[in-house]
Structure 1
């Protein structure tokens, strides 16, 4: 039994993607890329499969996550703190969200530093990402929206290399 389990684990690890690649082997989508947590909670496993130990849970619906690898129905993800593991693909959504960095961030009515403030977002808030252009991102949360510098957010394309 012990030898069989070890051989299974070794063959599983050998099949996992090594290093960065341009496209996922399963979906053909870019790697890395951002997704969001579809479920209210998701088990984060040590490896891709139900046989692997659950290390913790993500508990915030909409939380942005970076997909760094794919294996069958599993996606290896990382959060804004670099913590992660393997999550079943059914618990993830392609809807783009971002996490507000810092204590508070002003949402501007236009993508300009001197534009009027439309709203203020608290640090740690999760917002839906509409689009980004020229270093500014349009976000919306709780019925309020505005433009924010992309460096004030985690989950934008500028974070993909980090």
Structure 2
């Protein structure tokens, strides 16, 4: 391989990486700074581990406030560093969690005491295929027009966006609020 071919091989991936970084630079946190990851804030993620420690700040030197034991629980990223995510949980508490215990796979959570119908279509009049029990999780693919497409194994259907946690486009907690339990 000649030197010019070797340099040409290096330039292409570098150029693509540069474009990807520039594309991500347009994504900002609530205070206007670019997000370190290039992903939107707020955004929904899920806990990917059976045990996740929520801390007062972004680092292992900060005290643990909560221990989450619900793998797949949706949380909303409201601020971030490269390694840590400041999240809002279903009860409105704010904590910092490490990026390695999160997943970008979308899930929704039925916080209510009643089951939520899973419809065949994006219409309350469509047939009910199943019900999402209280305090239950299900994978979600997309939300549009007030409905979320959900799936669990062979089951595929739609739930009303307002009936589950993990769908709101706006931040559910104030990113400026210090980590700790929900107010009120």
User: TM class, shorter-chain normalised?
Assistant: 0.7 to 0.9
TM-score (norm: length of structure 2) = 0.72
Maintained 8 Å contact 1:23/1:30: no
Match of 1:114 in 2: 125
- Paired with 1:78 and 1:145, the residues of 2 have a C-alpha distance of 28
Give the aligned partner of residue 60 of structure 1. 70
Q: Which residue of 2 aligns with 1:133?
A: 144
Counterpart among 79, 83, 91 of residue 69 in structure 1:
79
TM-score by length of 1: 0.81
Deviation of 1:112 after TM superposition, in Å, equals: 1.0
- Could you tell me how far 1:83 is from its partner in structure 2? 1.1
**Structure 1 position 147 matched with structure 2 position 161:** no
Flag the 1:24–1:88 CA change in 2: closer, same or farther, 3 A: farther
- In the TM superposition, residue 23 of structure 1 has moved relative to its aligned partner by 6.7
> Contact 1:24–1:31 (CA<8 Å) still a contact in 2?
no
Runs of 4+ in 1 over 3 A off after TM superposition: 21-24
Partners in 2 of 1:41 and 1:101 — Cα distance?
20
Aligned length: 143
Q: Distance in 1 between matches of 2:147 and 2:32?
A: 25
The 3 A distance-change label for structure 1 pair 108 and 58 is same
Q: 5 Å matches for 1:71-86?
A: 71-86=81-96
- In the other structure, the counterpart of 1:105 is 116
Distance in 1 separating the partners of 2:58 and 2:100 = 13
- The unaligned stretches of length 5 or more in structure 1 are 1-18
Structure 2 gap segments, 5+ residues each:
1-28, 173-184
How far apart are residue 148 of structure 1 and its match? 1.0
User: In structure 2, how many angstroms separate the alpha carbons of the residues matched to 1:142 and 1:57?
Assistant: 28
The structure number with the bigger radius of gyration is: 2
Question: What residue is the counterpart of 1:25 in the other structure?
Answer: 35
Q: Alignment RMSD, CA only?
A: 1.8
